[in-house]
Amino acid sequence: MQHTTASILCNTCVRTVVAATTILGLSIPAAVLADWEPTKPVEFIIPAGTGGGADQMARFIQGMVAKHNLMKQPMVVVNKSGGAGGEGFLYVKESKGDPHKIIITLSNLFTTPLATGIPFNWKDLTPVSMLALDEFVLWVNADSPYKTAKDYLAAVKAGKDNDFKMAGTGSKQEDQIITVALDKFTGKKFTYVPFKGGGDVAVQLVGGHVNSTVNNPIEAVAHWRAGKLRPLCVFDDKRMPYKGKVTDTMSWSDIPTCMEAGVKVDYLMLRGIFMPGGASQDQVSYYINLFKKVRALPEWKEFMEKGAFNQSFMTGKEYASWVGKAEETHKTLMKDAGFLAK
């Protein structure tokens, strides 16, 4: 009873002091009242090479934040692609409690620890928000004889193992997971050729060094527009919704699904933001609000259409739940492909 009385008296004292400072014209320090915000430059980590989808999105966000003065402190993009992105994930894991680091993720959030056994799990980080989901498209060189996915995969079926080369980002990651699914569909093995980033992958196809890729739209769109690449199908259960012409004759929505060609493979990749573990709710809220401001920009809407993204957005428990389910899906896919670390 005495404790309750003391608490009431204490609360009364606090209200009296605050009221007195207001009456006397005194000010309470801004740091006490203000929401959290960065006090030094924020490192934006990309666990992948330059030119790929994650790199392009992070650098676009950095540019928009600077252009529209959305942060008082600068945002600095840093690529840490070593070990299939493991370098970046371990760097952020080891920065526990540092709110001045954020990381953009792709599927290597799941595939790298599952394939390599590095001491990392997404639960070592603090989920902030899903920015979008990325599509995958089967591409060939525009000079190739294949006009449809059905034509191309029929040629693969008719050939021998390793006759056709598929370029992709990293080993035992999303591009190779999709390639293994195509191996199973055709009954023939592709020669899978890994590169550091999606930009390099697209260039290899333009140069005719490989037969196909499963690049994300944003990684290949410039080459498609330039008449160098041809999209055959999208690995989704429905066509992309964007109807604006990318080339003289085609829009993203004109690309058929791979399922329309009989290929029962669909795959979407997370473009999400995480912080180091130990972040407080007000620090997480700062970045959620920052990315909401970015997503409200007309430039973001243009970027989403250019890259034909699925514009899903999640935060909080909904986001964490989605990530947990995606991890389980990847465990199954990796196990089926024989990619789990032993």
For each of the domains in the chain, give its residue range(s) and CATH number, in order of start.
Answer: 42-134+269-337 (3.40.190.150), 137-261 (3.40.190.10)
What is the pTM assigned to this prediction?
Answer: 0.81
Cβ neighbours of residue 68 under 8 Å, at least 6 residues apart?
Answer: 293, 297
Percent of the chain scoring above 90 in pLDDT: 82
Q: What integer pLDDT is reported at residue 315 of this predicted model?
A: 97
Q: What integer pLDDT is reported at residue 34 of this predicted model?
A: 61
Between 91 and 266, whose confidence is greater? 91
How far apart CA 90 and CA 111 sit, in angstroms, is 14
Question: What is the average pLDDT across 310-339?
Answer: 94
Q: Are 235 and 214 in contact (CB under 8 A)?
A: yes
In angstroms, the Cα distances linking 95 to 42, 59, 122 are: 13, 22, 14
The amino acid sitting at 306 is: K
Distance of CA 195 to the CA centre of its chain: 18
Q: What would the pLDDT profile of 153-185 be if each residue is shown by its tens digit?
A: 999 999 999 999 999 988 899 999 999 999 999
Residue 314 has pLDDT above 90, yes or no: yes
Q: Are 227 and 247 in contact (CB under 8 A)?
A: yes
If pLDDT is split at 50, 70 and 90, which confidence band does 144 have? very high
What b-and-e string marks burial along 8-38, b requiring 16 or more CB atoms within 10 Å of the CB? Answer: eeeeeeeeeeeeeeeeeeeeeeeeeeeeeeb
Q: What integer pLDDT is reported at residue 342 of this predicted model?
A: 85
Q: Are 233 and 180 in contact (CB under 8 A)?
A: no
Residue 320 has pLDDT above 90, yes or no: yes
Hey, how many other C-beta atoms are within 10 angstroms of the C-beta on 63? Answer: 13
How far apart CA 325 and CA 309 sit, in angstroms, is 20
- Asked which of 116-120, 186-190, 332-336 is least confident by mean pLDDT, the reply is 332-336
How far apart CA 175 and CA 195 sit, in angstroms, is 10
Residue 10 has pLDDT above 60, yes or no: no
Q: What would the pLDDT profile of 249-307 be if each residue is shown by its tens digit?
A: 999 999 999 999 899 888 999 999 999 999 999 999 999 999 999 999 999 999 999 99
Mean confidence (pLDDT) of the chain: 90
Residue 24 has pLDDT above 70, yes or no: no
Q: What would the pLDDT profile of 32-79 be if each residue is shown by its tens digit?
A: 446 999 999 999 999 998 888 899 999 999 999 999 999 999 999 999
How far apart CA 12 and CA 101 sit, in angstroms, is 40
Residue 20 has pLDDT above 60, yes or no: no
Q: Are 21 and 27 in contact (CB under 8 A)?
A: yes
Q: What integer pLDDT is reported at residue 50 of this predicted model?
A: 87
Between 15 and 308, whose confidence is greater? 308
